[in-house]
Amino acid sequence: MGPHEMIATRLMLLAPLMRLILLSVAGLLMFLGMVLVVLQPETGWNWSPAYWRPLEDTHQAIWASLCTGLLAWLISSWIWALKPMNVPAVLFAASGFATLAFCFSSFIPWISLPMSEGTVAWIWAVNMLGASAFGIIMTCLFLVYPSRVTYWKPLSVLTVFGFGAWTLLRTFGPFQDFAEVQRITTFEMLAIVVAVVLQIRSSARDPRKRAIAVWLGASTLLGAGAFIATVAAPITLGFSPMVLENYAFSFFLIIYVGLAVGLMRYRLFDLGVWAYRLVFYASAALALILLDIALVSLLTLDPGQALGVSLLLVAIVYLPMRDSLWRRIVQRRPANDDDLFHLVLDAALKPTEQERAAGWKALLQNHFQPLELAEAEDAISEPRLGNEGISLGIPGVAGVPSLQLMHAHNGRSLFTPRDAGVVMHLVQLMKHAEASRTAYDRGVSEERLRIARDIHDNIGAQLMRALHSAKPDRKDAMIRDTLADLRDVINNAQSPILPLDEILADLRAETAERLEPHGVSLRWSLQADAGIKLIPSTVHALRSLVRESASNTIKHAGAKCLDVRLRITPDRVEVEVEDDGSGFDIATVELGQGLANMKARVEGIGGVFTLSQGTSGAQLQAQFPHEVAAP
C-alpha cells in the first residue's frame, strides 16, 4: 500500500470521528449559549458572572429541557457521523436538530433576561416549528425504515405537506396560535404510531426487519405514548397536563435510544425480546400509576395508602398475568431435558453412520424448524450466530460435519443466543451418547474377541485331547467337559475360586494326557507359595497359555519333551514353556492365530509375552500381574 492510499485510509477512519466531534462541539456550544441566557439577570445582559442568577434560583424544568435537547442531538449526531449517506440516519439527525430546537426554546417563561415581544414571538415560532418538524421527520423515518412500507411516497408527501401547512398556518400570519402546537404534536404522535404499525406489517416476512420494527414500535409506543398521555392529550381535551411538558420531553429520549439501537442493528436477535420486556415493564409502571390515581380519587385514600395498595395489586394480579403472557408471546416452550436426551439417544444409537447423520439432522430440523439446513463451508468448533441471527452454525459431532441452519421457525424469527445455548447442550448430549455407543461397541468387539480366543485356545485344545483319546468312556467325559467349558466361554461364567495346587494339578494331568499319544513327555516345574488362590481371570489366562503351547508342540514342533516351568508369587505369574523340537527362524516366523491370541491375551492384562529360539526348540515366556483371590 502506497503513502497516498495509507493517508486516504486514515482519513476514512478519522472522518466519522471528526464529524462526531464537530457536531458534538456545536451542540455543546449551543447548550452553553442557552445556559448563559438562562443565568442572565433581570437588569439585562451582563458578561460578569457576579451579576448572574444563582443556579438554585432557576427553574428545574429549564435544565430538564436543555439536557433532553442536548442528549437527543448527541445521539442523532453519533448515528449520522457513522452513516452520513444513509437516508434513515440523515432523517434521524434532522429529528435530533428539531428536538434540540424545541427543547431549547421551551422555557421562555422562566428566563429573567428582558426580551421584546418580537423576540419572544420568534422563540415561540422556533419552538412550534421544531416540535412539528420532529413529528413530521419521525413519521417519514418510520415509513422508510427498516423497510419501505406500501405507498410510502404518497404517505410521506401527505405527512410533510399536511402537518407542514397546518404548522405554518398557525405559526405565521393572521391564524397564528402558538398553543395549537399541542394539538399538532398530538396528531403527529398518532401518525408516528400508525407508521410504526404499518412498518411492523410491512416487515412481517423478514425476521431481521421485523425485529427492528417491533423494537422501534415498543420504544416509540412508550416514548410517544407517554408524552401524549401526560401532556398532549390532556391539553388537547382542555385539561391541565399531568406533568410539565418540559419534564415530559425526556420521554422522547426513549425513542432516540430505541432508534439508535435499531439503526446500528445492534444484537438484532435480541431486539424482539427487549421490545416485549420494555412494553411489559412500562405496562407495570402505568398500571401502578393508574391504580394509585384511581384509589386516591375513588376510595379517598391518602397517597401513602394508595401506593401500598397499588403495589400489592400489581404484584398479585399484574405480575402473574405478565409472566403468563411472556411465556405465550416471547418464550417458546422449552424442550424438556429428558425429551432432548431421548431424541439425541435415538439419533446416536442408529446402527450406521449415515443413519446417525440423518437422525441428527432430523433432530435439529424438528427443534429449530429452519427453512434451510446444509453443511457449513468451514469447520465450526462452537455454536455461532451469523447474519444478525439469520443463521446458526452447528459444530460437527458424531461423524456428522458442521451444519448451517438458516431462517429459524420457518422464517418467522431469528436465531438467538438462547438457541445457541440449546445447540451447545444438544452437542454435549450427542457427544456423551456417542461416547457411550462407542464404548458399547468396543465392549462388544472385545467380548467377541475373547470368545474367539477362548474357543481357539481352550476348546480347540480340549477337542484335540478328546480326539486322540483311545478310550470311548474317557472321550465322552472329555467332550462333556469341553461342552461345559464352551458354555462358560459363551456366558462368560466365572468359575468358582479354587486352590492353586488343585488347579495346577488338573492342568498338569490334562497336559500330560494330551502329549502322551504323540510320544511327547512332560516336565513340570512349579514354584509357588502355599495357600495361594487365583481369581478366575488369572486361571483362565494361565490355562490358555499352557494349552495353546501344548497344541503347538503337538502340531508343529516334532518334539520329544515339553518343559513347563511356573513361578507364582502373590502379585505375579511367570510362565516359561520350552520344547526340544525343530524350532524356527526367529527373524522370519509369523505368529499364527494361537500365538497371536496368547500374545494379545497377556498384553491385554498388562503382561509381557516373548517367543524365542531355545537351546534346541522353541521357548515361550510370559509374565503378567494378577490379583490374589480373597480368602
pLDDT tens-place string over residues 240-293: 887 888 888 888 888 887 777 765 554 433 444 444 454 545 555 555 555 555
Q: Does the pLDDT of residue 148 top 70, yes or no? A: yes
How far apart CA 94 and CA 77 sit, in angstroms, is 9
User: What pLDDT score does 163 carry?
Assistant: 95
Q: How many residues does the chain have?
A: 631
Q: According to DSSP H, which parts of 105-151 are helical? A: 117-144
Q: According to DSSP H, which parts of 180-206 are helical? A: 181-202
pLDDT tens digit string along 27-38? 999 999 999 999
Q: From residue 188, how far is each of 78, 354, 469 by CA, in Å?
A: 25, 61, 112
Q: Does the pLDDT of residue 213 top 70, yes or no? A: yes
The H-or-E segment that residue 116 falls in is none
Average pLDDT of the chain?
76
- Using a 10 angstrom Cβ sphere, with 0-12 exposed, 13-18 middle and 19 or more buried, the burial of residue 379 is exposed
The closest of 161, 164, 53 to 112, measured between CA atoms, is: 53
Higher pLDDT, 522 or 379: 522
Those residues with Cβ within 8 angstroms of residue 362's Cβ, 6 or more apart along the chain or in another chain = 347
Please give the distance of CA 422 from its chain centroid, rounded to a whole number: 6
The CATH number of domain 15-266, selected from 1.10.3470, 3.40.50, 1.20.1070, 3.30.750: 1.20.1070
How far apart CA 541 and CA 531 sit, in angstroms, is 20
For residues 172 and 134, the answer to whether their CB atoms sit within 8 Å is no
Share of the chain above pLDDT 70, in %: 71
DSSP category for residue 557? I
User: What pLDDT score does 169 carry?
Assistant: 93
pLDDT tens digit string along 612-627? 876 677 888 999 887 6
Taking phi over 0 as left and psi of -120 to 50 as alpha, with beta for the rest, 388 belongs to left
User: What pLDDT score does 619 carry?
Assistant: 86
User: What pLDDT score does 367 carry?
Assistant: 76
User: What pLDDT score does 262 carry?
Assistant: 63
User: What pLDDT score does 473 carry?
Assistant: 59
pLDDT tens digit string along 103-128? 999 988 888 888 888 899 999 999 99
How far apart CA 272 and CA 201 sit, in angstroms, is 15
User: What pLDDT score does 339 carry?
Assistant: 67
User: What pLDDT score does 271 carry?
Assistant: 41
Number of Cα atoms under 13 Å in the Cβ half of residue 396: 10
How far apart CA 453 and CA 537 sit, in angstroms, is 14
User: What pLDDT score does 129 carry?
Assistant: 95
The closest of 176, 175, 218 to 196, measured between CA atoms, is: 218
How far apart CA 592 and CA 610 sit, in angstroms, is 14
The order of strands in the sheet holding 372-375 is 372-375, 403-406, 391-394, 384-386
Pairing relation of β-strands 521-528 and 561-569?
parallel
pLDDT tens digit string along 296-348? 455 555 555 544 555 555 555 555 555 555 455 444 444 555 667 677 777 77
How far apart CA 274 and CA 257 sit, in angstroms, is 13
Question: Which residue matches cell numbers 501344548?
Answer: 550
Delimit the domains of the chain by residue range: 15-266, 269-330, 337-441, 503-631
How far apart CA 55 and CA 40 sit, in angstroms, is 11
For residues 608 and 623, the answer to whether their CB atoms sit within 8 Å is yes
How far apart CA 27 and CA 97 sit, in angstroms, is 9
User: What pLDDT score does 631 carry?
Assistant: 47
Those residues with Cβ within 8 angstroms of residue 582's Cβ, 6 or more apart along the chain or in another chain = 557, 558, 559, 617
List phi, psi (to 5°) of 611.
-130, 125
For residues 208 and 268, the answer to whether their CB atoms sit within 8 Å is yes
Joined together, the cell numbers standing for residue 59 give: 427553574
User: What pLDDT score does 627 carry?
Assistant: 65
Higher pLDDT, 171 or 405: 171
For residues 347 and 431, the answer to whether their CB atoms sit within 8 Å is no
Farthest CA pair distance, the chain: 141
Q: What is the mean predicted confidence (pLDDT) over 417-437?
A: 77
For residues 398 and 360, the answer to whether their CB atoms sit within 8 Å is yes
For residues 514 and 506, the answer to whether their CB atoms sit within 8 Å is no
| CATH code of the region 503-631 | 3.30.565.10
How far apart CA 284 and CA 222 sit, in angstroms, is 12
How far apart CA 623 and CA 307 sit, in angstroms, is 87
